[in-house]
Amino acid sequence: SAPILSVRDLRTSFFGQRGEVQAVRGVSFDVHPGEILGIVGESGSGKSITCMSILRLLKASGRIMGGEAHFDGQDLMALDQDDLRDIRGNKIGMIFQDPMTSLNPTLTVGEQVIETILRHRKVTRAQARARAIELFELVRIPSAAERLKSYPHEFSGGMRQRVMIAIALSCDPKLLIADEPTTALDVTIQRQILLLLKDLQKRLGMAVILITHDLGVIAEVTDRIVVMYGGLVMETGPVRDLFATPKHPYTRGLLASVPDLRDDTHRRLTPIPGSPPDMAHPPAGCPFTPRCPHAMHQCAAALPPLFGEGQGARCWLHHPEAPKVTGLNEVAA
């Protein structure tokens, strides 16, 4: 099927005291109807900025330097702010890490859901209220009608995130963008929210982009994964292939730092040593070079392309003529 969202060579920079900071350096991916795409990377990898660029929600210091984003037949880069506002919260729903900052503490959650529905749909207040109850039931908030009267602080973190999901779903979006939706929650609640998202995605047939720094969190719920580092896509492919045979040294590093929950005695937690590149001075070559155990001479000199179809990896090791014994060509990192 044709993608619902298609992003090509997206470039975004921020301009400030440090000059130009290249946060996104040419990102391409597709999201198909009814699939969950995971975008994974450490903080600062450009994953949130990518989605904020697509929605044209950048801070004043941010500028889209190039690229394209097509959503449901529309060119997002060409739309004016009115049309964009209509798409955001109508055709594209959004949820963020901290529901407390998105909810108004002085209004009941019911009023906030009802207001959102009335803003986007020509319905009566009573119809909007009935829809709000339906939505609370959909996200499995117990005693839905009763809980509409509660204020945000009367909910637990997990329940607040369910309210945010209900608001995001209120206008039947074709795409839901969830940016670290479970990061502030404890592990059991994280899993419940992710399984809820998966279930909703199946039942409503929408597409979902799930942004996270934690590869372990999304293994169970995503269909495909995009791994970002230094503003670039480093590896992309079906989640099963990525976990079974990660091709990129950075993906392997991320996988090694996923705790093995089945085995308490040997929790594998090996964070990748070193820090991400300074995007005010992006390296000419592979941005992972200083941290990569397989770095070769050419790695620092030239940026590798994405090698491979289906499962692609931006790494010189996958060049057809790369030395089979990479150790021969290693440089001191």
With respect to ligand SF4, which residue has the nearer C-beta, 148 or 292?
292
| Residue 315 binds ligand SF4, judged by CB under 6 A | yes
Least distance to ligand SF4 from the beta carbon of 252, Å? Answer: 9
Cα 60 to Cα 9, 56, 230, 249, 282, distances in angstroms: 22, 11, 22, 35, 22
Tokens of 89: 């919260």
* DSSP H helical ranges for 88-238: 99-102, 109-120, 125-138, 144-147, 157-169, 187-204, 215-218
Among 246, 295, 311, 312, binds ligand SF4 (CB under 6 A): 295
Task: State which amino acid sits at residue 319.
Answer: H
Cα 228 to Cα 28, 86, 234, distances in angstroms: 11, 29, 5
Among 299, 307, 311, 312, binds ligand SF4 (CB under 6 A): 299
Contacts (CB under 5 A) with Mg ion, residues 35-54: 48
Least distance to ligand SF4 from the beta carbon of 53, Å? Answer: 25
- Ranked by CB distance to Mg ion, the top (closest) residue is 48
Tokens 């859901």 correspond to: 113
Q: Over the range 221-258, which residues count as b (16 or more CB within 10 Å of their CB) and which as e?
A: bbbbbbbbbbbbbbbbbebeebbeebbbbbbbbbbebb
Binding mask 83-102 for ligand SF4 (x = CB under 6 A): --------------------
| Residue 40 binds ligand SF4, judged by CB under 6 A | no
The listed partner (ligand SF4, Mg ion, none) that binds 316, CB under 5 to 8 Å by sort, is ligand SF4
Q: In what order do the strands lie in the sheet with 74-75?
A: 19-31, 5-16, 62-71, 74-75
Least distance to Mg ion from the beta carbon of 48, Å? Answer: 3
Task: State which amino acid sits at residue 182.
Answer: T
| Residue 307 binds ligand SF4, judged by CB under 6 A | no
The listed partner (ligand SF4, Mg ion, none) that binds 54, CB under 5 to 8 Å by sort, is none
Helix H or strand E encompassing 301? helix 297-301
Tokens of 98: 């901290």
By CB under 6 A, which span of 144-152, 202-210, 268-276, 284-292 interacts with ligand SF4?
284-292
Least distance to ligand SF4 from the beta carbon of 222, Å? Answer: 23
Contacts (CB under 6 A) with ligand SF4, residues 127-186: none
By CB under 6 A, which span of 25-33, 38-46, 219-227, 295-303 interacts with ligand SF4?
295-303
Least distance to ligand SF4 from the beta carbon of 74, Å? Answer: 36
**Binding-residue total with ligand SF4 (CB under 6 A):** 13
Instruction: Decide if 211 contacts 180 (C-beta within 8 A).
Output: yes
Backbone angles phi, psi at 122, to 5 degrees: -85, 80
The listed partner (ligand SF4, Mg ion, none) that binds 31, CB under 5 to 8 Å by sort, is none
Count CB neighbours of 151 within 10 A. 16
| Residue 272 binds ligand SF4, judged by CB under 6 A | no
Cα separation, 35 vs 3, whole angstroms: 10
Question: Which residues in this chain contact ligand SF4 in the complex, by CB under 6 A?
Answer: 249, 286, 288-289, 292, 294-296, 299, 304, 315-317
Question: Which residues in this chain contact Mg ion in the complex, by CB under 5 A?
Answer: 48
